[in-house]
DNA sequence: CCAAAAGTGTTCACCGTACACCCATGA
DNA sequence: TCATGGGTGTACGGTGAACACTTTTGG
């Protein structure tokens, strides 16, 4: 074993550690992620995931949340650690270990992100039409997407995309976008209601020249992420 | 965004990065993990997970595999990244980020591990009777165990415990130990055979004064970890 | 009254579960 | 011949999938 055994610190070179966050949302009926355009080399002019270096006294989760908040102005999101990428030459400057996270932004919380000082631009990009990404970020995005879709089956992660109140049709739309297929309305409603995770607010949602939809909310927001 | 933007390297303090591995096996009918007894402070005399510092030019996976091989003399195991732990004071000496992995050792590969220079001892411990662990390693072990049990449902991870050839009763025994419950023999066999992942070797296994058991092997070892 | 989305039940196939007895061997 | 673990089939209930029409509103 080569566990820590010096009295103070490990006398060999330390890698840099960053967090990068894949921020998903649904915009205009398409799954989208948040990207920043890099202002500086390497990969200047390329799009990349929001993220940055870990402060030496900062928890990993806090770092990811801070980076996310700095980019989008949104906090309190569902944020989950995804995977840690550490290939030796993933960053040409120095050895960088990236602890990656993913987050879901509810449909109604789409604050227009503001570009930070070291980014040329920041914006949402449809998942199925992403520009070339810097570093190994394309790989990170692919893994986040696989995780997201896999969790649809056995968790209630899709609620992370829902605003405080929503209709069952909106919820079904989210599933259909994520699964890339149409779902049967009756089966979908039966399944959702049997989970006993949503309740009617009692209000109706008028959305056009047709029958109004019942409005729902999540019953126990703190339990939403618990695996079925 | 606070992504890398210096020409060379990030001018703030870097944390140390380690990998730690939860090595599972089944010994004497009990789920067990491999621990080393620390020879040096901090936590001298306590048991800890095998692991150690990342070499600056080494991939994360390679580091975990190397540490594991150094401890057990076994290589080529199923090894999967688990989670990255980075609480600010998890190591009293300096800031340490631990990228954790877990591995499964087949029943027949139980080489007696040999203690490395900086460990007082190394050995297997039953999962339900673990000694107090150094650092946050108890938390790491708990997470690894939850992952292992969860994957039983939707993957074929249990085959990671099986030697090259095995009987269906042995396989069932592994599931029963991991799930902590007895399984119906007929249903278990029906399910396993329907997965079409194992095939008979044609040989019989004589194990006592009773009917010999058919010997099986995994059909496509490279596909064993693919999610159902 | 027409267009558009909301809302509602039943049938069927499949799968997981429960359950009991005979078989082959060694002592 | 007996003790021991190996090996086999069927019946039932629950769950997921397929499927079409009525309701309510705005224009």
pLDDT digits (tens, 9 = 90+) for A54-63: 999 999 999 9
Whether A2 has its CB under 8 Å from any CB of chain B: the answer is yes
Whether B193 has its CB under 8 Å from any CB of chain A: the answer is no
pLDDT at B76: 77
- How far apart CA A38 and CA A93 sit, in angstroms, is 15
Domains contained in chain B, number: 2
Q: Average pLDDT of chain A?
A: 90
Are A52 and A83 members of one domain?
yes
Give pTM, 2 decimals.
0.92
* B204: CATH: 1.10.10.10
Looking at residue A107, the DSSP 8-state letter turns out to be T
Nearest to B9 among A48, A67, A93 (CB): A93
pLDDT at A154: 87
Which of B143, B83, B43, B22 lies closest to A83 in space, CA to CA? B83
- How far apart CA A226 and CA A196 sit, in angstroms, is 13
Cβ separation of A15 and B59 shorter than 8 Å?
no
Our CA-based measurement puts residue A43 at a distance from the nearest CA of chain B, in whole angstroms, of: 10
Predicted confidence (pLDDT) at residue A3 exceeds the cutoff of 60: no
Are A102 and A60 members of one domain?
yes
Cβ separation of B57 and A88 shorter than 8 Å?
yes
Predicted confidence (pLDDT) at residue A112 exceeds the cutoff of 70: no
Q: Is residue B173 part of a domain?
A: yes
**Which residue of chain B is at minimal alpha-carbon distance from A90?**
B59
Q: Is residue A68 part of a domain?
A: yes
Asked which of A150, A167, A200 is the last residue of a domain, the reply is A150
Are B137 and B163 members of one domain?
no
- Residue at minimal CA–C1' distance from D23? A211
Are A85 and A44 members of one domain?
yes
Asked which of B118, B150, B182 is the last residue of a domain, the reply is B150
What is the total residue count of chain B?
A: 228
pLDDT higher at B119 or B174: B174
pLDDT at A61: 97
Whole-angstrom CA distances from B114 to A46, A171, B121 are: 49, 56, 8
Chain A hits for B7, CB-CB cut-off 8 Å, are 41, 93
Are A25 and A79 members of one domain?
yes
Q: Is residue A7 part of a domain?
A: no
Chain B hits for A53, CB-CB cut-off 8 Å, are 2, 4, 10, 12
Cβ separation of A93 and B39 shorter than 8 Å?
no
Q: Is residue A8 part of a domain?
A: no
Q: Is residue A24 part of a domain?
A: yes
Are A115 and A167 members of one domain?
no
Residues 145-184 on A with a CB inside 8 Å of B are 150, 154
Are A210 and A146 members of one domain?
no
**Which residue of chain B is at minimal alpha-carbon distance from A113?**
B1
Instruction: List helix spans (H) across B22-136.
Output: 60-72
- Residue at minimal CA–C1' distance from C4? A210
- How far apart CA B122 and CA B43 sit, in angstroms, is 15
Q: How far is CA A82 from the centre of its chain?
A: 10
Are A107 and A171 members of one domain?
no
Are A108 and A179 members of one domain?
no
Protein-contacted bases of chain C (C-beta within 7 A): 3-10, 16-20, 23-27
Q: Is residue B6 part of a domain?
A: no
Å: B53 CA to C15 C1'? 48
Asked which of A150, A176, A193 is the last residue of a domain, the reply is A150
Contact A7, B41 (CB under 8 A): yes
Nearest to B17 among A1, A58, A97 (CB): A97
Contact A175, A163 (CB under 8 A): no
Chain A hits for B38, CB-CB cut-off 8 Å, are 3, 5
B27-74: per-residue pLDDT in tens? 999 999 999 999 888 999 999 999 999 999 999 999 999 988 887 667
Are A72 and A131 members of one domain?
yes
* B72: CATH: 3.90.79.10
Whether B111 has its CB under 8 Å from any CB of chain A: the answer is no
Q: Which of A193-197, A215-219, B148-152, B219-223 has the lowest mean pLDDT?
A: B219-223
Q: Is residue A35 part of a domain?
A: yes
3-state secondary structure chain B: CECCCCCCCCCCCCCEEEEEEEEEEEECCEEEEEEEEECCCCCCCCEECCEEECCCCCCHHHHHHHHHHHHHCCCCCEEEEEEEECCCCCCCCCCEEEEEEEEECCHHHCCCCCCCCCEEEEEEEEHHHCCCECCCHHHHHHHHHHHHHHHHHHCCHHHHHCCCEECHHHHHHHHHHHHCCCCCHHHHHHHHHHCCCEEEEEEEECCCCCCCEEEEEECCHHHCCCCC
CA angle, corner A148, sides to B86 and B100, nearest 5?
A: 25
Kindly tell me the burial class for residue B147, based on how many C-beta atoms sit within 10 Å of its own C-beta (0-12, 13-18, 19 or more).
middle
Predicted confidence (pLDDT) at residue A102 exceeds the cutoff of 60: yes
Are A144 and A172 members of one domain?
no
Q: Is residue A46 part of a domain?
A: yes
Q: Which domain holds residue B187?
A: 157-218
Strands A119-126 and A30-38: antiparallel
Are A137 and A179 members of one domain?
no
């Amino acid at each position: 074993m080569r566990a820590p055994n010096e009295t103070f610190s490990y006398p060999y070179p330390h890698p840099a550690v960053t967090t990068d966050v894949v921020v998903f949302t649904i915009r205009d009926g398409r799954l989208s992620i948040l990207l920043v355009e890099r202002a500086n080399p390497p990969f200047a002019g390329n799009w990349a995931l929001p993220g940055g270096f870990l402060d030496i006294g900062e928890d990993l989760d806090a770092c990811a949340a801070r980076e996310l908040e700095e980019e989008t102005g949104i906090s309190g999101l569902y944020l989950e650690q995804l995977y840690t990428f550490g290939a030796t030459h993933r960053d040409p400057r120095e050895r960088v270990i990236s602890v990656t996270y993913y987050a879901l932004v509810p449909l109604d919380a789409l604050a227009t992100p503001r570009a930070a000082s070291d980014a040329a631009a920041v914006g949402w990009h449809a998942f199925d039409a992403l520009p070339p990404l810097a570093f190994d970020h394309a790989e990170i995005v692919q893994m986040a997407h696989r995780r997201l879709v896999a969790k649809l089956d056995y968790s209630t992660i899709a609620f992370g995309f829902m605003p405080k109140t929503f209709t069952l049709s909106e919820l079904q739309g989210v599933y259909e976008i994520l699964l890339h297929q149409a779902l049967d309305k009756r089966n979908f409603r039966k399944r959702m209601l049997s989970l006993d995770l949503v309740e009617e607010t009692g209000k109706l949602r008028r959305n056009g020249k047709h029958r109004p939809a019942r409005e729902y909310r999540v019953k126990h927001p703190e339990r939403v992420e618990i695996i079925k």
